[in-house]
Chain A
């Protein structure tokens, strides 16, 4: 028990006050979704999600959700197939470049998305001409947005694993570089890669700024559009999405903790 910790009374008082502040909006949202026309309680709005006739107004949200999931997959691909191998390369071969690399990767934290999107607009104009105006091309911008989060997760794994010894041992046993990366290094980085992927999914599902200003339909922008006509569906999806990402982050925490547990 930490000697610096406050007394139980202090803990309870602060905990209840802050807990109320955070619980009331969420509980209110839940009650809001159960509201009937004349003030009673009803499950109509929740059931309308599955009713094909009533869900015509909600269809943009399903489309947006589908687009967001595709974007999540492509973003995770960028993280796993572009960022991770580059990080392995930098850590193994270009140790002196690490500070510069870290600076570049953490730069998106300092550059607000709203500023980035001002400069992305002309680039996406060109992309629209070459790769088409499909929503999936947004993943390139999303890859930049998730860089700091993914970098931290993977770097933590790299620091915990001894890449140099592993790769040298594998090479001296005759493995080619692809085999080394795929069969020796990646399994040892599994926790970091998993955490990075889950974080990327969460970030992509919650992204609004870039999609909205580049006029693409994703989960968040769709909810905003539908909100004008049907305020209940976005509220329901808000609760579901927050719960989903909460579970996702719990998983990430569990995965990170498993990293430090001793294996017999």
Chain B
């Protein structure tokens, strides 16, 4: 391994001596490097065993039956109307909550723009956004049950004070419509986390240039702000979609039975013997999910690379 003393001090006089010197350096570097490869083994083994293999198993198990023979029937089951409805439900729920979350989240970022980045409000909002976006899950379900469950605080209040029974047409909280509000609850913070860097990268100099050239605040946003932010907004929207599509905990806590969305369908197929007459439906569903999320995330990284040009 070369040291500072080697390279730095002898640089001026090293021109004729450099081939020999670099050969010596190359020799030591080569013997050092071969030993260092062993250092990568533990982590590589860990990743292979707990990330690569499970993913391959999850995707691949859809192609095999219980006794190990290759089959297309599980993947073909993805075309079943029930499963298609599930995917449509998931996609619809994810799209709705992603759009609402993106718009409201962008507005919140806009508001935060005017605050001191090191101030208390920004710090508190950043921490709160982190909590709700990543670690809420099951606990958000409890909070919503406490608020608008059958005996929730808001439900009782509305019934007693205004005579409004929000469950007059059935208990929607524990079915698909009930997922919308909890999902928005963690989509907005995620948007704030992912979109804030893009908004903060808008240079005030552009606003000043716009003003000196005779533009208004509106023209700034229409002609400069929104076009520059559009890739980041789209990228964040995709991320929110993927996030909602993959979410399991909140739905599992609210809908203890039932499988209206794909993650819940996977739960049902893992916990019961056969679903739709097939044993390895969980693998096929996992394959379907990975395809959807994978496409969305690939689009996300493509657009994000484009958006990052404005953030340098």
Whether B46 pairs with A29 at a CB distance below 8 angstroms is: no
Q: How far is the CA of A70 from the CA of B132 in the complex (A)?
A: 23
Q: Report B-chain residues with C-beta under 8 Å of the C-beta of A4.
A: 113, 202, 204, 207, 225
Is A257 engaged at the interface, CB distance under 8 Å to the other chain? yes
Q: How far is the CA of A121 from the CA of B104 in the complex (A)?
A: 38
Whether A111 pairs with B131 at a CB distance below 8 angstroms is: no
Q: With A28-B152, A213-B270, A238-B143 known to touch, is A171 a contact of B1 (CB < 8 Å)?
A: yes
Whether B114 pairs with A1 at a CB distance below 8 angstroms is: yes
Is A93 engaged at the interface, CB distance under 8 Å to the other chain? yes
Q: Report A-chain residues with C-beta under 8 Å of the C-beta of B15.
A: none
Whether B111 pairs with A14 at a CB distance below 8 angstroms is: yes
Q: How far is the CA of A121 from the CA of B123 in the complex (A)?
A: 39
Closest to A90 in B: B40
Is B124 engaged at the interface, CB distance under 8 Å to the other chain? yes
Q: How far is the CA of A230 from the CA of B162 in the complex (A)?
A: 28
Is A129 engaged at the interface, CB distance under 8 Å to the other chain? no
Of the four ranges (under 10, 10 to 19, 20 to 34, 35 or more), the interface on chain A belongs to 35 or more
Instruction: Select which of B1, B130, B207, B289 is within 8 A of A114 by beta carbon.
Output: B289
For A226-259 the 0/1 string (1 means CB < 8 A from B) is 0100010011001001100111011011100100
Q: Report B-chain residues with C-beta under 8 Å of the C-beta of A246.
A: 127-128, 131
Is A130 engaged at the interface, CB distance under 8 Å to the other chain? no
Is A116 engaged at the interface, CB distance under 8 Å to the other chain? yes
In A60-119, the 8 Å CB interface with B consists of: 78, 82-83, 85-86, 89-90, 93-94, 104, 107-119
Whether A15 pairs with B111 at a CB distance below 8 angstroms is: yes
Instruction: Select which of A1, A5, A203 is within 8 A of B135 by beta carbon.
Output: A203
- Measured between C-beta atoms, what is the minimum distance from A43 to chain B in Å? 16
Closest to B6 in A: A172
- Measured between C-beta atoms, what is the minimum distance from A130 to chain B in Å? 12
Q: With A18-B104, A113-B248 known to touch, is A206 a contact of B53 (CB < 8 Å)?
A: no
Instruction: Select which of A11, A29, A94, A108 is within 8 A of B114 by beta carbon.
Output: A11
Is A188 engaged at the interface, CB distance under 8 Å to the other chain? no
Whether B113 pairs with A169 at a CB distance below 8 angstroms is: no
Q: How far is the CA of A109 from the CA of B131 in the complex (A)?
A: 17
Q: How far is the CA of A90 from the CA of B43 in the complex (A)?
A: 11
Whether B147 pairs with A25 at a CB distance below 8 angstroms is: yes
Whether A2 pairs with B204 at a CB distance below 8 angstroms is: yes
Closest to B188 in A: A18
- Measured between C-beta atoms, what is the minimum distance from A175 to chain B in Å? 12
Whether A119 pairs with B152 at a CB distance below 8 angstroms is: no
Q: With A83-B43, A114-B289 known to touch, is A18 a contact of B108 (CB < 8 Å)?
A: yes
Q: Report A-chain residues with C-beta under 8 Å of the C-beta of B302.
A: none
Closest to B120 in A: A250
- Name the segment of B72-80, B164-172, B290-298 touching the other chain: B290-298
Closest to A111 in B: B55
Q: With A25-B147, A114-B248, A118-B57 known to touch, is A205 a contact of B135 (CB < 8 Å)?
A: yes
- Name the segment of A51-59, A140-148, A153-161 touching the other chain: A140-148
Is A224 engaged at the interface, CB distance under 8 Å to the other chain? yes
Is A50 engaged at the interface, CB distance under 8 Å to the other chain? no
Whether B142 pairs with A29 at a CB distance below 8 angstroms is: yes
Q: With A14-B108, A208-B252 known to touch, is A250 a contact of B127 (CB < 8 Å)?
A: yes
Q: How far is the CA of A124 from the CA of B170 in the complex (A)?
A: 40
Whether B113 pairs with A119 at a CB distance below 8 angstroms is: no
Whether A119 pairs with B126 at a CB distance below 8 angstroms is: no
Q: With A32-B153, A104-B47 known to touch, is A123 a contact of B107 (CB < 8 Å)?
A: no
Closest to B296 in A: A110
Q: With A4-B204, A18-B107 known to touch, is A26 a contact of B143 (CB < 8 Å)?
A: yes
* 24 A-B pairs in the complex with CB atoms less than 8 angstroms apart: A4-B207, A4-B225, A10-B111, A14-B111, A83-B43, A86-B43, A89-B39, A94-B36, A115-B286, A118-B54, A119-B54, A119-B57, A119-B58, A119-B286, A120-B54, A123-B50, A123-B53, A140-B46, A168-B1, A213-B271, A223-B142, A246-B131, A249-B130, A250-B123
Could you list which residues of chain A lie within 8 angstroms of chain B, going by C-beta atoms?
Answer: 1-6, 10-11, 14-15, 18, 21-22, 24-26, 28-29, 31-33, 35, 39, 78, 82-83, 85-86, 89-90, 93-94, 104, 107-123, 140-141, 143-144, 165, 168-169, 171-172, 202-203, 205-209, 212-213, 220, 223-224, 227, 231, 234-235, 238, 241-242, 245-247, 249-250, 252-254, 257
Could you list which residues of chain B lie within 8 angstroms of chain A, going by C-beta atoms?
Answer: 1-5, 33, 36, 39-40, 42-43, 46-47, 49-51, 53-59, 61, 104, 107-108, 110-111, 113-114, 118, 123-124, 126-128, 130-132, 134-140, 142-148, 152-154, 156, 185, 188, 202, 204, 207-208, 225, 242, 245-246, 248-249, 252-253, 263, 266-267, 270-271, 282-283, 286, 289-290, 293-294, 297
